[in-house]
A = this chain, B = another copy of it.
Amino acid sequence: MSQQELKKAGLKATVPRLKILKILEAKQGKHMRAEDVYKCLLASDEDIGLATVYRVLTQFEQAGLVVRHHFDGGHSVFELDQGEHHDHMLCVKCGRVDEFVDDIIEERQKAIAEQGGYKITDHSLHIYGVCPACQKNAA
């Protein structure tokens, strides 16, 4: 029950938070903007404000329930924290997003941080390109 998840995260189990969590669970693997979540709520006839969506997503992020990414374009996208970190490869034509993990890159990053004396807290790696489908379309 998600009621417990919220309590465990130190958050009151309110209707907006439960609904938003459910939406994120339903769209697992997708990367949603606040606006997208809001539209889902509207479609479900929920009377929840956009401001609340932003507030809740930020709280979820701080609680470790979701991860926020800053893809090019100037807005944040969110996804349920799947437990293990991954990076992203994005199609600049259609917006498709692929996820990947590369141990060698992860390791090199740690080495670079250490070499610079940084205590690493986070990192983001985005590969931009044209996906196979869009390459075919262009040809």
What are the interface flags for A98-134 relative to B under an 8 Å C-beta threshold, 1 for contact and 0 otherwise? 1010101100110011001111111111111111100
Cβ–Cβ contact A123 & B113, under 8 A: no
- How many chain copies does the complex carry? 2
What are the residues of chain B within 8 A of A122 when measuring CB–CB?
Answer: 92, 127-129
CA of A74 to CA of B73 in the docked complex: distance in angstroms? 9
Cβ–Cβ contact B120 & A109, under 8 A: no
* Chain A residues within 8 Å of chain B by Cβ, number: 33
CA of A113 to CA of B109 in the docked complex: distance in angstroms? 19
CB of A135 closer than 8 Å to a CB of B:
yes
Contact among B98, B116, B126 for A116, CB-based, below 8 A: B98
What are the residues of chain B within 8 A of A104 when measuring CB–CB?
Answer: 104-105, 108
Query: Which chain A residues have a beta carbon within 8 Å of chain B's beta carbons?
Result: 70, 72, 74, 89, 91-92, 98, 100, 102, 104-105, 108-109, 112-113, 116-132, 135
| A and B contact pairs by CB, cutoff 8 A, 28 listed | A89-B112, A89-B116, A89-B118, A92-B121, A92-B122, A98-B116, A98-B118, A100-B112, A100-B116, A104-B108, A105-B109, A108-B108, A109-B125, A113-B129, A118-B130, A118-B131, A118-B132, A119-B129, A120-B127, A121-B128, A121-B129, A122-B127, A122-B128, A122-B129, A123-B127, A124-B124, A124-B125, A124-B126
